[in-house]
Amino acid sequence: MFRKMATSSALFSHLQFSPRKPYPKHVWSPSGGWWGQPHQWKRNTLIVGAGTIVFMAFVFKKSAELEQRTLYPRVWIPSMLWAKQFKNKDDPNFQPPKSL
């Protein structure tokens, strides 16, 4: 039975393409509803992407300004490149650990 079903076209008959069916035009959906294709979607995507990059740059800058560590890290971490605490060598208590 499985062999007969696998070779028949009935297995894929539900995948045939059909014209768009009628749908209610008064329904609003944030994703665009049925067959949504918003006008100028490429421009809108670029605007949102640019806004996201600007916002994340602000968050990164503010986070780097406020970052403070109480103990010197035992291994290298990326924030050592931009944190003020690692650039200023004034604090005698904040020094790399002595090697064993």
Q: pTM for this structure?
A: 0.58
Distance between CA atoms of residues 64 and 89, nearest Å: 17
Convert the pLDDT of each residue in 70-86 to its tens digit.
888 888 899 888 888 88
Tell me if 74 sits within 8 A of 97, measured CB to CB.
yes
Sites in the chain below the pLDDT cut of 50: 5, 7, 100
Amino acid sitting at position 10:
A
- Which pLDDT score, from 0 to 100, does residue 78 have? 92
